[in-house]
Structure 1
């Protein structure tokens, strides 16, 4: 196949549509031919610098044409792109570098203070270099292409390795069920250094869609980009949808007629926000997705089911099977909660330089007999889920984040969903703190949707009506905003740290 790797795929797109915009930014556009030329500069520099097949190159990235060219140059030299977001602090960046032992770092963003254990190359050095022609190198579909770092919310961040083939097949499968066209424009405010943003960029790399980038990822910039660049696909996350529809945002005065497809990942959109979103953009097909950095994408909920099954994460994407397993490894029954296991395609190659963690997560397909000549591959996600009688998948939270309150297991995500139903809240995060008598004492950090007299008392009354006593939050943190990770997800470790320093947090009566 001509495009057996990401470099080949992009070069084919650039040759086919050289004048089409690859990236659109506020006030400017960069076409595929320009990105291809700049990527060749990077490729020649890296080959001249001695980058060998399989060498890791750390890319300190922000969403920009220079970052895109840098990534492509690494793939053109048969290296492996190790993505590090520009928001990383010095200890996190050092951890990333120490994990993958890069040949060098391509820094298209400002470096944090501190030394890295590898040379650092800036765009100006690429521009000034004598890029001599070097022989081309070819990566195989099974070769490692990228290392994406997990958030590290439950420990030090791990480097998830995906192959060229997984990314090529995955991008085509996702674009297929979304119904994307080559002439479409994609807007996603998530950084490329994180899997959801990276997946949207793949549509540009592999299929030639135009990618819309933002100077700042806030609701005002999002609305301005929709108005200026007229995208067909908007890929958002729950917090962004919430602030677009419930916060200070010009979305309701923005012309959304160009949008055809909306997607969500990274958590559940609160039910009231979901209803508003569907009403505001009735022409759009809304896809609710589920997946991990380790699986590319696992499932999606068909738009026709959003109204009837809004809490479901749908059915497996093409090439994937899902099974729910009990702790003893047996298959769970209909509606029974167990671990979600992703079977089939798109399973990562593992965690870079962490064989024990890889062995725990990436295993043989549990539905194939041990004597099978090809046991296949499966990803044990660590997520809890269930499958109903119609074959729809439901997410019940992380296995390692389940709480045990008053001797009963509690899903924080279920408590969050029930609190959202009160209508008083813009955001909510539920977590547990150790307690001598209760086991896990349930806390709720909440952001009010607006001024509410007696908010805590009203929330307690609502919780008493819809929750069992063991589920009901006993302490509350009322905030103007919730802390977030660089991916836009709620930072639960930060909330727990705050709770440890807040013994006077409001106690439920």
Structure 2
């Protein structure tokens, strides 16, 4: 399988002027991006195998930098530009990158363009390290081989129904595995990437009108912000859009319905996968009507199994841990063989797979139904529940737009539920409390409800549960 760098170089030789990336008034063709990579490579001077930690916001130069690192035999490692200093310090201490490229370091590299020498790069070479979001702890570095990345981008393009030359709007960070997948769509599929100039909902909405994307790749929190936040999305010219693709957190039914109302002629594809699996399942709109609560079916090349406590596959409709097998399985966690062995192991006679930590079941038709994370199962009033179910029930209330729920130790009852909600205008915590008391059974009712302007996010847009746990002790917001 061709290395992504060599695939992009081949695409550039076939059509050097084809647009690779647009950001505001800055546009680079394929040959321009190769030339920019050549100049950056001259400034890097990497030893073969050198680890380069990239901590940058999305930009054409970040894309060129990845090509430059590959061309010198280096290994790009991605950490969000919004990650806390504690994450950066821990990664540097543990993994010893040869270089850390942030905005200042990038600006110190050569400007302009130069030729790029293409080395021999085998498909089994380490090609990327993406650090997990750290939403439940310190991030782990997920290593993927070149062939896995090339295969993943090709397979996803077929699942999405991409044409030969899509224009993909990418408002998610390249440092997130989903954003990294979009960059690979350019390198491997030759699609044009459109990058917002600023990290704001208003700029994303304006970019849709100005740069006429055909694909919008996002996450549920982004779509919630576009629909319900200060975004001007209601005035965006969306006629060019034909595909919306989402992954990350679960897509609440009300949010999905609202997005379909705003974009009635657009195919909305919901996806499931981990950094460790590239992409696992997809639920296209033609399957969504009868399977609204499903994560979809496995994509091309993937097998999904449900494992019991002994690690062996379970029959259909039995609940257990979701295991991803086949294409997309990550190679290892960087410098962490123990964590690799816990996640990447044998599932009965099916072979090596990724034990995802998600709880779910496969129905008789092969659709995956998720019940939540293994680490979000608690007992409330001696009844087992998943905190994700409480979140879904609260978000289903008409007055609530988004919810996060944590479990807090209680010396009397063992555990109590604490909910953080964003709400429609003029809605208060007592309003939500009264509605929740009517709609939810006693064991699912939060002991405490806090109304926030917005939920805290990790650098890649997921709910920051550790921040909420710290916040619950001394919130300054309206609390009941």
Question: TM (normalized to structure 1)?
Answer: 0.89
How far is 1:104 from its partner?
2.1
Partner of 1:115: none
Runs of 4+ in 1 over 6 A off after TM superposition: 131-134
How far is 1:504 from its partner?
10
Distance of 1:132 and 1:422 partners within structure 2: 58
Write the deviation string for residues 137-183 of structure 1: whole angstroms up to 9, x where unpaired: 22211111001111222222111101111110000100101111232
How far is 1:31 from its partner?
1.3
Task: Say if 1:299 and 1:313, in contact at 8 Å, map to a contact too.
Answer: yes
**Structure 2: gaps of 5 or more residues:** none
Task: Say if 1:38 and 1:69, in contact at 8 Å, map to a contact too.
Answer: yes
Partner of 2:127: 145
Distance of 2:310 and 2:476 partners within structure 1: 39
2:459 pairs with 1:486: yes
Task: Say if 1:187 and 1:233, in contact at 8 Å, map to a contact too.
Answer: yes
Paired residue secondary structure (1:327): coil
Question: TM (normalized to structure 2)?
Answer: 0.95
Write the deviation string for residues 268-317 of structure 1: whole angstroms up to 9, x where unpaired: 22222211111221211111000000110111112112233222100111
How far is 1:482 from its partner?
1.3
Task: Say if 1:242 and 1:269, in contact at 8 Å, map to a contact too.
Answer: no
2:225 pairs with 1:243: yes
Counterpart selection for 1:472 from 436, 439, 445: 445
Partner of 2:381: 406
Of the structure 1 ranges 189-198 and 240-249, higher mean CA displacement relative to structure 2 is found in 240-249
Partner of 1:495: 468
How far is 1:87 from its partner?
2.1
Counterpart selection for 1:125 from 100, 104, 109: 109
Distance of 2:135 and 2:159 partners within structure 1: 31
Partner of 1:51: 47
Task: Say if 1:212 and 1:229, in contact at 8 Å, map to a contact too.
Answer: yes
Paired residue secondary structure (1:470): helix
Distance of 1:28 and 1:94 partners within structure 2: 33
**Mapping of residues 95-110 of structure 1, within 5 Å:** 95-107=90-102, 109-110=103-104
Partner of 1:391: 366
2:393 pairs with 1:418: yes
Counterpart selection for 1:18 from 16, 19, 31: 16
How far is 1:217 from its partner?
2.6
**Structure 1: gaps of 5 or more residues:** 111-120, 369-374
Task: Say if 1:186 and 1:233, in contact at 8 Å, map to a contact too.
Answer: yes
Cα distance, 1:336–1:215 mapped onto 2, change above 3 Å: same
Paired residue secondary structure (1:292): coil
Paired residue secondary structure (1:37): helix
Distance of 1:169 and 1:323 partners within structure 2: 21
2:37 pairs with 1:39: yes
Task: Say if 2:313 and 2:347, in contact at 8 Å, map to a contact too.
Answer: no
Cα distance, 1:7–1:426 mapped onto 2, change above 3 Å: same
Write the deviation string for residues 7-58 of structure 1: whole angstroms up to 9, x where unpaired: 1011011112211211111123111111111112233444xx3511x22122
Write the deviation string for residues 428-474 of structure 1: whole angstroms up to 9, x where unpaired: 1111101123222011101112213xx44443343334432211111
| Greater relative contact order structure (CA < 8 Å, 6+ sep) | 2
Distance of 2:418 and 2:282 partners within structure 1: 31
**Mapping of residues 208-357 of structure 1, within 5 Å:** 208-357=190-339
Paired residue secondary structure (2:467): helix
Partner of 2:67: 72
